[in-house]
Structure 1
Amino acid sequence: MTTSQHREPLPGGPPIAGEDTVAEPAGPPAPRWGFGAFLLVEAVLLASAAFVSVLAGDPPPGKPLPISSVLLGTMLPTMIAAGVALLITVVRGNGPVLDLRLRWCWADVKTGLKFGLLGLVLTSLGAYLWTRVVGSADATSAISALVDDRKMSVPAAVVMFAYLWLLGPICEEIIYRGLLWGAVERLKWSSERWGRFAAFLLSTAVFAASHLEPLRTTLLLVIAVPIGLARLVTGRLAGGVVAHAVNNFLPAVAILLGALGVARF
């Protein structure tokens, strides 16, 4: 009496006839979006910003900015563009969790905090040197110029703070270190390592240029580098979001206090 024994195939060889084989689980299909998707999102961002600026108009000098101007003029364009980016990953990809690496991980939060604090130091030093060389007026951001010498209502100021600190970083990271980063990483000519480094370089440059503030582009590059490094090191979007939020916290507080008339910076 003989018993049959299960035979293992040789490494790298064909499966043994008559033996059951277990198929390797297939990964998610490759996303069907690339640079065209990012260009579309940028076009939506610019077009919506132009539209809402005309729709909102310019409030009378000396009067508080209504909350509608804050929502329309500063928040809505970026939120619409980020929403389009998310929609693209759903319609032509595997969703934002896979396509944009939009996973939550506490280790990424710690890394983001470290790079965010580094960004605060670099940004403070860069802003100081910038004001010494160029002048404080030229170092002012577009949002700071919007609320400069104009007191805001309390609800508008709080909404502006929440946007600058949290919502804005989330939306911008989805666009630049999510959609654009993913498009660069998947280029056929690039290796995995080079693709990630190229994504870091290009997203950093485009992020700085996309603010359309030519005089502050160099300073924006300084701000963008630690945020991009958090995304590069963790390999996920949450690290960049946390670093971005940390970097924006003090400027957001300064704008909040200035808009409320509590302090002037």
Structure 2
Amino acid sequence: MSTPQTSETEPRPPSPSWAAPPQVRTHRWGLGAFLFAEGVFVLTSVVLAAFFGSPGTASIVLMLVLPTVLAGLVAVTITVVRGNGPRLDFGLQWRWSDVTTGLAIGGVGLVTTTVATALWVHWAGPGATSTVSSVLDGVRLPPVLAVLVFLHIWLIAPVCEELLYRGLLWGAMERMRWSQLNVFLLSTALFAIGHLEPSRTWLLLIIAVPIGLARMVTGRLTASVVAHQVNNFLPAVGVLLLSLGWMPA
């Protein structure tokens, strides 16, 4: 039995005047697609941790990279099989206006994130770190692997995470005809919670706000990917220096 489609003539929830109008959704995936992709991420992480036990340098990198990349590939596959592809369903297309918007909003977000991180470290203590930093604490990676982790944190992970949260999740909620504000709020909250770092949840909320705004303003994923990459640049540099032993943990 085919899934009934909502008529395009039905009124849609109002959006803020500065936000892009919500898309009329014709894809055939919903919240279950997001939960499935998120489940792939969690299951892959658990299986790799159980398989390697006490991992070496190469397996640590694999454990950091593979779950995120697999989840992103699952998201793209879902849009191809059950939708119109990532270009139409996610708005994942090259537009200079989206890039400049992502750079501008990401730059502002980088400032707020840096301030919020400094406050978090002050309140939580000097030993407070992210999950990635804690995994690499005391681990010295060969330069090639260190650069791979740097590129993953800076460029690859933001793409994969955006495919999940501002792609699958965002599109599923728009298909349910939620208002843009509610879509933004819930995707921001689930992004912060989905990192499974309770002590950093409020910090991740602050990080997620400008990224979600880039998605909301343009109506496309490219801007939020760029904003996310801008936000991740300094943390990626810190992890690079840490993994090379050039900076204390």
Q: TM-score, normalised on structure 1?
A: 0.82
State the partner residue of 2:18.
Answer: none
- 1:106 to 2:96 alignment: yes
Residue identity matched to 1:30: T
Q: Report the alpha carbon displacement of residue 56 of structure 1 after superposing the two structures with TM.
A: 2.6
The answer for the alignment partner of 1:206 in structure 2 is 190
Q: How does 1:175-214 map to 2 (within 5 A)?
A: 175-188=164-177, 190=178, 194=179, 196-214=180-198
Partner in structure 1 of residue 40 of structure 2:
44
CA deviations on 1:174-226 (whole Å, 9 max, x unpaired) are 010011000111114x3xxx2x2221111110000001000000000010001
Letter in 1 for 2:109: G
Please say which structure displays the higher CA radius of gyration: 1
Q: Which runs of 5+ in 1 are unaligned?
A: 1-27, 60-64
Q: Which has the higher relative contact order, 1 or 2, with Cα contacts under 8 A spaced 6 or more apart?
A: 2
User: What letter is aligned with 1:174?
Assistant: L
1:69-92 Cα shifts (integer Å, max 9, x gaps) = 202x11101111111111111111
Q: CA deviation at 1:143?
A: 0.3
Kept in 2, the 8 Å contact 1:41–1:84? The answer is: yes
**Whole-angstrom distance in 1 between the partners of 2:67 and 2:209:** 24
Runs of 4+ in 1 over 4 A off after TM superposition: none
Give the alignment partner of residue 105 of structure 2, picking from 102, 115, 129: 115
Corresponding position of 1:232 = 216
Contact 1:86 1:95 (C-alpha < 8 Å) held by counterparts: yes
Equivalent in the alignment of 2:14: none
Q: Distance in 2 between matches of 1:68 and 1:87?
A: 26
**Where does residue 86 of structure 1 map in the other structure?**
76
Alpha carbons 1:157, 1:260 under 8 Å: kept? yes
Letter in 2 for 1:112: G
Runs (5+) with no aligned partner, structure 2: 1-23
C-alpha RMSD of matched pairs (Å): 1.5
- Closer/same/farther in 2, CA of residues 151 and 29 from structure 1, 3 Å limit: closer
Deviation at 1:29, TM superposition (A): 7.9
SS at match of 1:201: helix
Partner of 1:31: 27
Deviation by residue 1:5-56 (Cα, 9 ceiling, x = unmatched): xxxxxxxxxxxxxxxxxxxxxxx98111001111111111111110111223
TM-score, normalised to structure 2, is 0.87
Distance in 1, matches of 2:171 and 2:245, equals 42
Aligned residue pairs, count: 226
Q: Is 1:244 paired with 2:228?
A: yes
Cα contact 1:67–1:155 (8 A) shared by 2: no
**Cα distance per residue 1:49-69 (max 9 Å; x no partner):** 10111223223xxxxx52332
CA distance in 2, matches of 1:120, 1:247: 5
Identity %: 52
